[in-house]
Structures are given as structure tokens and as C-alpha cells.
Amino acid sequence: MILEGRKLLVTGAQQGIGAAVALRAAEAGADVALNYLDDEAATRAIAETITGMGRKAVLVRGDVTDIGALPDMVAQAAEGLGGLDLLCNNAGIYPRQPILELEESIWDATLTVNLKANAFLSKAFALHCKAAGCAGAIVSMSSLAVQGWQDSAHYCASKSGIIGLTRTLAIELAPLNIRANAIAPGLIDTAQPRGGYTEEQLKELVAGTLAGRWGTADEVAETTVYLLSDTASFVNGQLIHVNGGAFFS
């Protein structure tokens, strides 16, 4: 129960890694605010599971690209949970497009969702913690793609940006007793990494890891919960790879 009494906001919580983080955090003792954009039914089902554990869960519908509305998202989460001291920046998109065909609109959309929203939601969260006088922790999702990936210049740029952003957040927010870390998931068995690949290509990619298999959203969630908890109180400004040894293939 390493998150006992903590209050967490998870973006993109309706599926995949976001849903796994929300559920694992609740198992670890946290109350959870579930941000979603377009699948209320799935999000509500996750909330019901969390309340079944005896934890509080609230739904916070909102588009993370609406930068001006992000302080309201934080305020709704804090009001619904009776406080807020943890943030998981998980919402992201991954539209494949080769660099020779890359459209400005795809670049802008990807950088806005994956990086800009992350920065400004972290800002809104930090301002809330400062006003409330509470310590806090932020975990943001980067990616294995920081090493470079086919048809993914825009995505790689956004996820590489998370690294610099996280390190700077750690430096600037340390006086407020707010830690910031990032996770770089590898090939995780969710819908996002499957886009644009055949099953044969996916098998080859997975075989290229030391683990020789897909990772699970729960494995990413376990690392997230650790980084959010006081167990990781001496871990700050770091990027943790959860990729089954992909860099050693």
C-alpha cells in the first residue's frame, strides 16, 4: 500500500497503460481521477473497479490539447478526490508518417498532445501543489522511440522532448518538494504499437528484445507506481526504460 492516502490524476486513463496505472495505483492505496476524451463507458468501468476496491474514483473528461482548460482539469480532480498530489502524464498519439511525407498538421498534433500538453499540465499541477502546500510527484510517458524509429520523426521528437522536460521539471520543482521522472515503455501489448505493422513484422520486433515477448501495461504500471511513491523519494529527473532489454538486441 505504498500510495495509501495519495491522490492521483492519470491522463488518457480509459485504456492501455493509463488504465493499468489507474488500477495499480488504486491497488496500492491511491484515490484516482481518470481523465478521458471520448470513451466514457470504458472509463466508467475502470472507475467502478476502483471504487470496488474501496478507493475513490472520479471521471474528468477533457482534451489535454486545450491548454487553457488544464488548470480546470487539475481543479476538478482535486475537488473530486479531496486533494491532489500525484500526476501521471500518459495521454499520447502515434500517427505513423514517413519524413518525406510528413505533414505539418501531423507534426503539430503529435507535439501538442505528447509534449506541449505534458508541460502545461505539469505546470498546472505544480501550481496546485504550491498553493496547497503539499509535496508531489510527476511521472510522464516517453518511449523506446527516443532511439529513433521508422516513420516516426514527429513521435520520436515528442518523446525525446519528454526527457529534457522531465529533467527541467525536476530541477525547477525540487524547491517545492515535487519530483519528476519519466518512463520509456518498449513494445507493450496495447493497441498503439501495433498500428502500421503486420503480424509478421510485430513478431520480428518482439523477438529482437532480450525478453522475447511483448511487455504488459501492468509492468509499466508497476514502475509508475514505484516512481510516484515515497519509496522512490531519492529518484528524481530520471528516465526509466521498461522495454525487455530492447537496446541489447
Active-site residue list: 143, 155, 159
Three cell numbers written together for 184: 520509456
Are residues 179 and 137 in contact, defined by beta-carbon separation less than 8 angstroms? yes
First to last CA, the chain: 36
Q: What is the layout of strands, in order, in the sheet containing 7-10?
A: 57-61, 31-36, 7-10, 86-89, 136-141, 178-185, 239-242
Distance, in Å, from the CA atom of 36 to the CA atom of 41, rounded to the nearest integer, reads 10
The grid cell for 7 is: 491522490
List all residues 6 or more positions away from 161 whose beta carbon is below 8 Å from its beta carbon: 111, 114, 115
